[in-house]
Each structure stands twice: as structure tokens, then as C-alpha cells.
Structure 1
């Protein structure tokens, strides 16, 4: 691969061939060659190349660098490495201290749907160059107009859209309408794969692996002790790549699909932060861009046949689960009181922008709505894993048809503003968000979504299937945030209280526990678990190495960026002095209670509160894998917060 050195210009600026004067990072004066020192992509005068703590003059053999700051060895050890060491230790202590009250073995019953795929993971730049695309073309790309749809019919369309995502440092998943083009891209990628005849369980660059939200989340939930059933039509090769303890329920063929399921392929094009494509360096300039391998981003191309039709959802799904799926010996003695503790819904982004004939996507969403509202009992918690959507009409239909019937949503920093825009403004967000947004901005976005999805005046008038959102999990590169409903007064959870609540069948089966804020316990442990899984998954290691760790979260963050809109977040403080949460490496998870977010007109009507927990992520600097990161993180946190019901309400297990 031909490599091009990064140009020291702001991200997104056009690269020119003209030489430019360099400025010293410290004194901001011109640096000439005789006094020039370069480290970590930045330039100093020799005399300015000093420890930011003790002012000791450094050299290229003695300096250390973190968060764009220079350190001598002593202060790097005391201020950076100690912090990087203590934070994961404290998070692990929280994780291991979590012991839910005794639960039925082998854990809560979970159904995960729908579908799956095979991922082919490639280096985006190398792959595009192999197709003859010029990686040094400095022609400015045209930004997508607001509310315009993304339609990929040619290689030029793909390059154009990829360039926009690359420049923004944003991940995306897009449907390719041209079948011949997609088949060609897949054949080119497969020809260079190291394992064309078998699938790995983890996606690494240059390999084929089992993919899709549902299989990945099912695998993580099973590894964390849940009893998992996956609703998916998979090929034999894909089924063999699953952990053996996961049960697979495969729907009969329908919609003209073959009885033996086709393999839906996802082409995962990865690019490193700090890599150069055309006149851009990924991502846009920000405080973390100095770490060239702190993360990897993905641009995914799909053209599914099975998944856009929701072929894994069929009328007898739940009855089949009752008969075969919820225990290993073929059934239950009493099915009248047996139900899953949790249903996880993912993979709906494969329906976005999909070209299928006839277009039955609206009908399939209605079938899914029927399953969620009629088939599943109110006692089953429903989690929806958000994804990247671009087709306004489809995703608007999804928000109206499906979202009123879920208890929990998982999403990342790109998907949160998109969902907020859909709920508040009725359109897909026109631009990608920053890759590491301020915590206060994300907290306000979560409050906006919560308010829109729990306001009784805005919810559709439906029957008993209606649910009010009771949990949001935001996973970002630098931090994790979980927001859950709690009773008025901010009740802390203990095992005895949960056990007592679950003894009342009326309380459980009618969903009163969720409505009153008694579902989703152990938020602090869950957010700590999510942060650790983020590191373990990307580093492909069970341990956290401080030398390979960076904390991107600020030393403090404001609880809101809009105190006038969210006065309940201030806890009585003046809007002129917004409270800030200080980071403490010995106690890194910060939790607090505030009034449940609501619309401006209904601020006096809510009796519930929310609990919010924020945890920094010990970010992996030597990334091994990224595919499935969000799914693993979300599933691990769910497992911590899902409590298996008592045996008498499941039947014989």
C-alpha cells in the first residue's frame, strides 16, 4: 500500500502543494528547521519541548505524551500512567462486586432477533485503491443536502459517501442498490480473505466472520450467563460459528426465499483514525486525534435478501420458543406462565433503503409490532438496539410503529442525534456528529429522547402493548451513560427489595415494576461493565494494560449544556453555575438522580425520577477488532441489569 504522510492542516481543509510555515505548539511562533522538534504529529522549538508540569527540557528519547500534553518520565508515571492504571482497577472492582441475588440457573431467559450475516472485514483505503480508486484525488466532495436520501448505485456514489463519513470520523452502514456492483465488491474482498471456507467468531481485518447485531449480542449474553435463543435463518456455516449453548430457532421459508437460507454478506471497510484519504485526515481535528491508533472506524456496505424481509419473524416464533427454545431438554411442563425475561431487537437497519420486490417492509414492521404488543407479555422487557438510518420515510415509520413498544434503547454518539432529530424534527440528521462529543450535550440529547418517548400526549393511543421508555444506554468511544427510571425519591436497589417485588405476579405480569421504576437494577455496575467490555473487545484481551490505555473523557463535565431547558439537572443550583462532575480515578463511575425528563408543558406532572450513571472508557490504543463493539457493550450491560424471574413464574426450567 502506498502511504502518504499526514498533512498538518485542520481536518477537512484542502491540501495544497504550497509549503507552509509551521507554528510551535507551545509559543505559537514560527518554527525553522534548525530548531524543529516533531513528536506525535506536532511541532515545537527545541527550547519549548518541555514537561508541562515541571518545565524540564525534554528530548525525543525522554519525552512522554498524553492528551496533547508533554511529560517527563516522572510526571507521566504519577499523573497519567497512575490514572490509566487506577481507573480500570476501580471499574473492575465495581464489576466483581456486583452480585445479584440468587437467580434460577442457568440465568435469565432471553430471545434475540432478528437474522444474521457474514462480515468480510477489509482495510478501506487499501481495498478502494485495489479497485482503481485514486486515494490522492483532492477534488472537493459535495456535502449531502439536508433531508436528501443516500442512494448507492455506482462506485463513484460509494466513494463520495465514504469520503463524507471519513472526513467526519463517523461510522455508517449503507445499502447498495446495484446488485452487480455489490457482488463484484464482495468477490474482490473474498478473494483476499484469509479464511474463505470458514467463519471466525470475532471480526478481524482480512477475515470472514459471523456478524449481525443479533448473533453478536446473543453470543455476549450467553457468555455472561444468560440462556439465549437466537431467532435467525442462518446458513450451516454461520450456525457452526455460534457458541454451542445458543439455541437457534429458524423460521420456515417464505416471501419466495429458498428453504436453505442465503448468506447475507456485509462488507466492513475499516479505517484508522489519523489515516489519510484524499484531502482529509480521519477524524476531524479534536483532542484525541494525536493518537493515531486510538480507534478504528467502519463504513459498512450491505445488500441483504433475508434480513430486510424480517424472514426470521414468523407467527409461531413464541410458541416454538415455548416448546423448544427455553430449555435444553425439549420443552416445559407448564407453558402457561413461561415467558422470556428479555427480548432483544436488532438488525432493522438492514431494511433501511433496501430494494426488495415487492416492498413489504411496512407490512413486516406491522407484523413485528403485533409480535411485540400481542405475543410478548408485558412482563418481558424489550430492548431495541439502534443503528445508522438514512431513509427518512422508513425510519419515521419505524419510530412510530416500533419505538412506542420498547422499554430500553441502546445507541451510540452518531445514532443519538439522529434519533433525536427524528423524534423532535421528523427528519434524519443531515450531518454526522463529532466522534467524541461533550458529555453534557449527549446527556441533554438523552433527556430530549426520553421526554419525546414518554410524553403521554405524544404517544399513540393503543392497547395494552404500549410501553413507556424506562432505559437508555449511550455508548461512545470515551464514556458510557445509562439512564433508567426510578421511583420518586431516588430509591437505591437491594436484593431483598427486588426479590420482594418479584413475588407479586400481578406486579410482574402487568409491567408495574417497569412503570414504577423498579426494573433495570444495578446501573452503576452495568455502566462499569460496559466500559470494561469496550476495552476488552477492541483490544481482544481479558486484561487492561495501562500502557495501551487512554482516557479521553475530560477531568470534569457539566451535567447539562442547556440549564434553562433542564433545570432539574441543576439540583437547585443557579442556571449561571451549572454543576460539574469531577473525575476521580479511585471512584470513576458518577451516578445521580434527577426528575424524569418531560416536555416543557408537562414539567409538573411527573412523579418518577431517573438515575443517571456515567463511566469513562479505558480506551484501547492498540485496536485489534471493532466490528460488533457496540453490540458487545450493550449486551453486557443488559445482562447485568436483567434479573431472572422466580422459578414459579417460568414453569419448570
Structure 2
């Protein structure tokens, strides 16, 4: 995977990210910092104000759907015209594709809603089928904040961002048909799937229908072509349960997710440590390890289960873990290290790690499990990647050199997943004859 001249496919979601200061936008909209409160769906400016405050106080990334189209377009126009606002390629699939295309000679096919502004921003190595082009872009608003930034009584412990949109094209997953029709001609070496979180707020009937179509589409991919699912932020527990149980997990080879998504997944389907409401600071390594092990044991490949899932790449601000079922992947050490490296360089916008601009926040020692007898690991600076085994699953852990003053936080997870995939070696049969 990731060899020069090979092909890769990204689908679906794609949009234009409007990146700007969250506090400055809300102030410009006349909103005041009041109480912080999470909302699964944003219905008004008040909901936006409360949800932004809630996640800013935690320093946690989140993404929400804004249901009022007219109100969203008014806010989006104000955001686009705001001093300092920047426009970037957006959407998990497009960002991962952009990362591959910009740094290698991989050819990327992007099946997603691509408007004129997004088309202009995409790398030349990304091909967009005519059926994916549309007259109007889908805009996602990325409200960033810095570590220590204040808004009324709220103070951000970490730099992060709050994302919201009124995205109907990605939510309906209209690129499914284009993906299937172009599969044979493009002959991918890798498929990256994203955008399932955009089904939130779309109604249970449409969710069930689209998830079934996703599974059917994945079944058309030739055996031996790995499929990576980038999970992204979800708030709908029934949707998450459907993704896990309606054969989506068994149909993908690899999974990428962060600490919010990992905990929500476990809560939605009653997995390990589902009783904790949120992470207290840096996520506990042993608890994360327990959930990753459970995902692969309950939903991954085994002698008694027909599943393709053999790899989970977990990333949080302070550290990354790559968990793989034994015998299916190689080069995991390089893959997890590469993901951690790109987190530090991309956040600081530097070609290499600048030691004066980064800090270490990973635990210096930790237990590898809390649900069974684990081992205690003490980090060795001369050996930055730790490894342990558990029940046929191998874990690779590495700390992240965290950028103190990040230039941009959005898209880090996608860059991490892309870099990890590029260095990973899948032990799979050839997909196309």
C-alpha cells in the first residue's frame, strides 16, 4: 500500500472548510457566553452558542448538524466574510485524499459533492468524475480556539475546534452510485470511506437505507482491496449502533477514530468503560486499550467470524495506538510513528519537528489494561514506540510531540490516518486480476 504509481480511492465526504476564530465569529453574531450545553443537533444560534461553550471548556473537538438552512447560510456568509477567515479542502475523504496526492504520486479518485471552490482547491493528482461535480459548494464552518483562550467564564485547556454545517449532499451520501459505477475502471489499491456521521439528523428510514447501500457497495469491492473507515464525530447512538451492527464494521478492513468517537462507540453499544461520561484529561491508555481490544474481538476477524476488520488506528492529542489482529498487517511501528510525526509537523506548519515549539503530554507510565491484569509500561525516550500483545492482537503505542501554538487544528486526524495508512502493509490477496 502506498507505492509510487499506485491508485487509491477516497469517498465520501467532500466540502469547503471555512476556518476562523470561533470566539470572534460568535461575538460578531452578537452571541454572548452563557451556559455550556451539548446539543446533538443545532436548531438555533442559541444552540450553537451553548454547544461551542460546552466543547471549548473541555478542549474537545466536535461536529454538529445545523438544521435551519436559512439561519446557517446567514452565519456561513458572515463567517466567509470575516477578517482572517480561510478556505480549505474539507471533508474526511477529501482531506485524506489531498494528503496522499500532495506527498506522493498516487492517483486519487474522489467521489463526493464537489463544487467550484472545492474543485479549485483540490490537488492536481485528484480526479473528480463528472457526476460528482455540482454547481454549489457545501460549506463546513470550523470554529477554532487556542489553548488558554477565554470566552466569558470558559477557558480552553487545549487548542481545538468546533465544526458545524447544513450539509445535505454529504448527508444523503449521493456519491454512492458514482463510486460503484467507477469501481471497475479505476481499480483502486485502497478504498477510504467516510461521511457516515453525516447521516445524523437525516431520519431513521434514510439512515437504514443508506447504510444498507453502503454495505452492498462495499461487497462490490474485489477481495484483497483494503477498505479504511474514518469514523468522525457522531451524536446519534442509534446511528452508531447501526454502523456497528448492520455489517458496516465487518465489511471494512481498517478503522480510524479519536478519543471522543471511541468512547461514544463504546457507550452506544455497551462496550468496556461505557459508564464513564467523558475522558478526564488525557484518555487513560489502559481503558483505550480495553476498548480497542473489544472492537477487534467482538467485531474483527476471527476463526468463528466472517469479518474483514483487522486494524484500528486510534489518535488523541497526547498519543496514538495502532491495534492489529496478528498475521494481517506489517510495518505497524513505522505507521504509528509516522502518524505521530505528522501530527506535530502539520499542527505547527513545519517541515520537521521543531523541538522549541512542541511539548510532551503523554503519560510517562501506564497500565496496558484495566479490565484484566495488564502490564505496567514505563516510556523509554530511546524507544519511542512501545509494543504489547493481548489475545491475538498487537498494540503499538507512541507519544505525540504536541504543538504548543498550533497554526491549524482541523484535518489533523485525517492527516494522521493517511500517513499511517501510507506506511502500513496489508497482508491481503491482490484485488484485481
- Alignment TM-score, normalising by the size of structure 1: 0.62
- Name the SS of the counterpart of 2:353 in structure 1: coil
- Name the SS of the counterpart of 1:306 in structure 2: helix
Is 2:69 the partner of 1:179?
yes
The correspondence for 1:437, drawn from 261, 283, 308, is 283
The correspondence for 1:583, drawn from 374, 379, 383, is 379
Q: Which moved more, 1:637-646 or 1:231-240?
A: 637-646
1:319 to 1:189, Cα distance in 2 relative to 1, 3 A: closer
- Name the SS of the counterpart of 2:244 in structure 1: helix
1:340 matched to which residue of 2?
188
1:267 matched to which residue of 2?
141
Q: Which moved more, 1:343-352 or 1:431-440?
A: 431-440
CA contact (8 A) 2:64 2:163 kept: yes
The correspondence for 1:478, drawn from 300, 318, 323, is 318
Deviation at 1:129, TM superposition (A): 1.0
The correspondence for 2:417, drawn from 624, 634, 637, is 634
Rg comparison, structure with higher value: 1
CA contact (8 A) 1:532 1:617 kept: yes
- Name the SS of the counterpart of 1:251 in structure 2: helix
Measure the CA separation in 2 of the matches of 1:614 and 1:353.
35
1:277 to 1:104, Cα distance in 2 relative to 1, 3 A: closer
The correspondence for 2:357, drawn from 530, 538, 548, is 548
CA contact (8 A) 1:233 1:261 kept: no
The correspondence for 1:592, drawn from 365, 374, 388, is 388
Deviation at 1:317, TM superposition (A): 3.0
1:455 to 1:321, Cα distance in 2 relative to 1, 3 A: closer
The 5 Å alignment of 1:252-331 reads 260-283=134-157, 295-314=158-177, 317-323=179-185, 325=186
Measure the CA separation in 2 of the matches of 1:273 and 1:615.
23
Is 2:294 the partner of 1:448?
yes
1:524 matched to which residue of 2?
333
Measure the CA separation in 2 of the matches of 1:105 and 1:156.
49
CA contact (8 A) 2:23 2:151 kept: yes
The correspondence for 1:349, drawn from 183, 190, 197, is 197
Pairwise CA RMSD of aligned residues? 2.8
Q: Which has the higher strand share?
A: 2
Measure the CA separation in 2 of the matches of 1:612 and 1:430.
23
- Alignment TM-score, normalising by the size of structure 2: 0.91
2:213 matched to which residue of 1?
367
2:92 matched to which residue of 1?
213
1:120 matched to which residue of 2?
18
List alignment gaps of at least 5 residues for structure 1: 1-99, 195-205, 253-258, 284-294, 326-338, 460-465, 487-516, 571-578, 596-608
1:618 matched to which residue of 2?
401
Measure the CA separation in 1 of the matches of 2:198 and 2:169.
9
- Name the SS of the counterpart of 1:414 in structure 2: helix
The correspondence for 2:56, drawn from 142, 166, 186, is 166
Deviation at 1:171, TM superposition (A): 1.1
Is 2:252 the partner of 1:406?
yes
- Name the SS of the counterpart of 2:164 in structure 1: strand
- Name the SS of the counterpart of 1:483 in structure 2: strand
